[in-house]
Amino acid sequence: MPKSENPGHVKIMRSQLGRARGLGAAKSGLEHWWVERITSVALVPLPIWFILATLHLLGAGQPEVAAWAAHPLNAVLLLALIFMTFHHMQLGLQVVYEDYMHHHGRLLAVTLATKGAALLLGLTAALAVLKLALGSTGH
């Protein structure tokens, strides 16, 4: 009897899909993909709006810019731009890290550092917008 036909073992024939089932992103990959797409779509009109608004405000003084930022629609759009930009950046970098970093401990550390940096930078930018919009000039 050839070695490959060992009667003590049952040979299981599985398709490639069957072997891959249950592996992967534990169903979080689809959500990550959708959030990336949603932030991408939001990051088409928001920067265009911001560039046009900035061109309109060229040469304006701080009081005029503060009055513009105090308008609720402008403040909300600025905050949305900040949130979408930093969240999209963090999601994109996470994908790059997962694709090219193979040491799990280092991957976790770099991913957490990136998320932390995106959060802190986003909060700093949001605070600046809120201070401008609400008229706070204190340090």
Segments making up each domain of the chain, as ranges: 25-134
Looking at domain 25-134, does it have CATH number 1.20.1300.10? yes
What's the mean pLDDT in 118-136?
94
Q: Which residue has the tokens 């534990």?
A: 26
Can you say how many angstroms the Cα of residue 6 is from the centroid of all Cα atoms in its chain?
A: 52
Q: What tokens does 86 get? A: 């930093």
pLDDT digits (tens, 9 = 90+) for 29-44: 788 889 999 999 999 9
Q: End-to-end distance of the chain based on CA atoms, in angstroms? A: 85
Q: Are 68 and 57 in contact (CB under 8 A)?
A: yes
23 vs 53: which has the higher pLDDT: 53
Contacts (Cβ under 8 Å, ≥6 apart) of 60: 68
Q: Count the Cβ atoms, other than its own, within 10 Å of residue 68.
A: 17
The rounded distance, in Å, linking the Cα atoms of 2 and 132 is 81
For residue 13, pLDDT over 90 is answered with no
